[in-house]
Structure 1
Amino acid sequence: MSGSVKVTENAARAGAPTRGRALARVATLRWRWIMMAALLMAACYAPFQLPPFRVFQFTMVLVYAVALLGLNLLVGHAGQISLGHGAFFGIGAYVTAIMLDRWDMPHVATLPIAAAVAFALGLGLGLPAMRLRGLYLALVTLAIAIFLVPLLKRFEPVTGGSMGLTLAKPAPPAWTGLAEDQWLYFLTLAVAVVAFLLAHGLLRSRVGRALHAVRDNEAAAEVMGVRLSFYKTLAFAWSAMLAGAAGCVYTWVIGFVSPDSFSVNLSITLLAGLVVGGLGSASGPLLGGLFVMFVPSISQDVNDAAPGVIFGLLIIAVMYVAPTGLAGLAGRVTRSITKVLRKE
């Protein structure tokens, strides 16, 4: 009888930490959803309180966040390097521009087509590229970014050449009562929310676990039955698809595309923004979008020659203070505050 009592007590003691961890996970998940809902409410409220130029800036933050979300899938979660992400951004922008300019398609109809074209090109380029790794893969993706600009300039009858294409922006429906800048902001916000939800669902699935396995240890992942080339190629294609979607929305917002807007500098800036925001983190793309949009803008106000210098110095400073990016720094600060509150 005493033996059964001891077994029961041991089981209870073993179950208590398990229940505690489960409750902690539920509380953490609930807190995250509350924070996301609050952030979304603030995002919906902001365009009614900000001047048009600020609304435009935050619209561009969302555009860059969608592009960085795709790059985060490839670099942060699959562990592959890419210096050509700006090329797929440009491809999405030009596919949208050509459809609007040549075929007069509705703006919303261009989004899935631009994303699909970028996905197909990412898949096609990913097949040979994923046989490489490290520095060799970086050089191949860099070549893609270098190749795009002269290619766009060469086909002037279609792309407009160096002069680019000027396009009409989506007009807000009369029933909304919104100004053009507010309407573009909400369109971009809707695309960003859908993109983040899709990425969240993807990473929580078996595919996400396979990508993390590839990132952490390719040899171990292959032993466990993960098809390396398959998931690497898909990660490349998904990354390109989100970049293409971001490029499409960029065309809506700017109303103009030119080859020089999608040079190698864009690819390098996007990668730097993701590293600063936080590789592999949920909030990294959004923080990176803020960094990419506002740091050059603020630096430009200081001095015409300052943006590049300040941008580089800030990257060095962030990497020194927060090696895991701004998202990692925010997480450490939050945990420190939580520990202090618990002690009190």
Structure 2
Amino acid sequence: MSTFTATLGTDRARRLRATLTTLLAAGVALGAPFYFAPFQVFQLTMVLLYAVALAGLNLLVGFGGQISLGHGAFFAAGAYTAAVMLDRYETGHLATLPVAAVGCFLLGLGFGVPALRLRGLYLALVTLAFAVFLPPLLKRLEPVTGGSMGLTVDKLQVPAWSGLAEDQWTYFVVLAVTAVALLLARNLLRSRVGRALLAVRDNESAAEVMGVRLSLHKTLAFAWSALFAGVSGCVYTWVIGFVSPDSFSFVLSITLLAGLVVGGLASLYGPLLGAAFVMYVPSVAQDISDAAPGVVFGLLIIAVMFVAPTGLAGLAGRLRGVAAGRLTRTTAPAADDPPPDPEASASPAPADPAPVDAEPVDAEPVGAQPRKEEE
């Protein structure tokens, strides 16, 4: 009964801590655009849209156990879908979001077919090839994509009733999309699909024996990952207002994968931390060295992975565990001081032994006949 009560108390404390953390994060997110300068608000907006792309990559790599170096291609597909719709067909911004999501989902579904027969480095090379040949293809399709010059579209328009600046309105729209995307990823991982992905990642043979269809869930992992990347690319077009093939080179795919690893694989908070790393660390590297910012960026990645091998999301858990261990050792009784024995304390003290040289009075030898009284 005591164990059950302790477990129940731990669960309640965990839920309370998660609720307080969520409320605190929501308060900070809602108040941030009123505190920071416009450029800093723009940077926060970019962190949010990159977090959506990393959440999709986390489904594939962190929870699905498959390696992808072509995530930037799905990002570009969503961005160009929104740009073409806004430029050629003059649709509304919100109308581009479901089209980009569904189109990238179908693209990922078709691209997930190689994942059925390839794994490891071979699958990584195939996805990298997809990211490499997409920018030249976009340049060839000049009547649709604008070629090397790209496409310039209108940004989000601020409604008059909001009373917000352009950067603040864009931030809140992207914040809403990011919140819905992260909630969808969380619910997806807690569903049957998420449990199947974890089973496939841990042991494919055991998962197949338990009835998990490997081909279906591997393909769905690519499809869901592409959907999140397409949504992120669509929002990118809203924020930037310009797309070009050179903005979506294979370096973007590698940067996104590095950001996910630094943020923390198979973690719900890892995409947010990785997105912040992708957004801010290159700027810091540029400030440190104008001549070789890439070298500084690589050294910073090595330093972070040396300090936090499981990512920034795992570093917080490790620090919390170390603090809890030290607190437990401080409050626990010392091992060198055993508790007193109650039986030993209750027993009477032994009598003092007789002196060695003292002779007993009227002592008789052992086995002797008893003496008779004299009359």
Letter in 2 for 1:17: T
Residue deviations 1:274-311, cap 9 Å, x none?
A: 00000001110000000000000111122223321121
How many Å separate the matches in 2 of 1:338 and 1:112?
46
Scaled by the length of structure 2, the TM-score of the pair is: 0.86
Kept after mapping to 2: 8 A contact 1:67/1:246: yes
The SS at the match of 1:215 is helix
In the alignment, structure 1 residue 129 sits paired with structure 2 residue 109:
no
How many Å separate the matches in 2 of 1:34 and 1:328?
19
Letter in 1 for 2:223: A
**1:325 counterpart residue number:** 311
In the alignment, structure 1 residue 107 sits paired with structure 2 residue 93:
yes
Residue deviations 1:15-74, cap 9 Å, x none?
A: 432332233123212211220121011011000010000000010000110000000000
In the alignment, structure 1 residue 158 sits paired with structure 2 residue 144:
yes
Long gaps (5+) in structure 1: 1-14
Greater shift after overlay, 105-114 or 294-303?
A: 294-303
The SS at the match of 1:121 is helix
Judging by fraction of residues, say which structure has more helix.
1
**1:311 counterpart residue number:** 297
The SS at the match of 1:296 is helix
Aligned-residue offset at 1:235: 0.7
From the superposition, tell whether residues 218 and 19 of structure 1 become closer, same or farther in structure 2 (CA, over 3 Å): farther
Greater shift after overlay, 241-250 or 209-218?
A: 209-218
Aligned-residue offset at 1:117: 0.5
The alignment yields a C-alpha RMSD, in angstroms, of 1.2
Letter in 1 for 2:161: W
1:256-267 mapped onto 2 (5 Å cutoff): 256-267=242-253
Aligned-residue offset at 1:206: 1.5
In the alignment, structure 1 residue 226 sits paired with structure 2 residue 186:
no
**2:283 counterpart residue number:** 297
Kept after mapping to 2: 8 A contact 1:211/1:231: yes
The SS at the match of 1:175 is coil
In the alignment, structure 1 residue 68 sits paired with structure 2 residue 54:
yes
How many Å separate the matches in 1 of 2:187 and 2:91?
31
How many Å separate the matches in 2 of 1:178 and 1:130?
49
Residue deviations 1:169-191, cap 9 Å, x none?
A: 01111111111111111111001
In the alignment, structure 1 residue 174 sits paired with structure 2 residue 147:
no
Scaled by the length of structure 1, the TM-score of the pair is: 0.93
In the alignment, structure 1 residue 196 sits paired with structure 2 residue 187:
no
How many Å separate the matches in 2 of 1:94 and 1:73?
23
Long gaps (5+) in structure 2: 332-375
Letter in 2 for 1:323: P
**2:37 counterpart residue number:** 51
Aligned-residue offset at 1:120: 0.5
**1:90 counterpart residue number:** 76
Aligned-residue offset at 1:341: 4.2
Residue deviations 1:110-139, cap 9 Å, x none?
A: 111101110000001112333211111101
Q: Which is bigger in relative contact order (C-alpha 8 A, separation at least 6)?
A: 1
Aligned-residue offset at 1:163: 0.5
Aligned-residue offset at 1:333: 0.9
How many Å separate the matches in 1 of 2:11 and 2:152?
50
Number of matched pairs: 330
Kept after mapping to 2: 8 A contact 1:131/1:229: no
In the alignment, structure 1 residue 337 sits paired with structure 2 residue 323:
yes
How many Å separate the matches in 1 of 2:292 and 2:34?
32
How many Å separate the matches in 2 of 1:31 and 1:259?
44
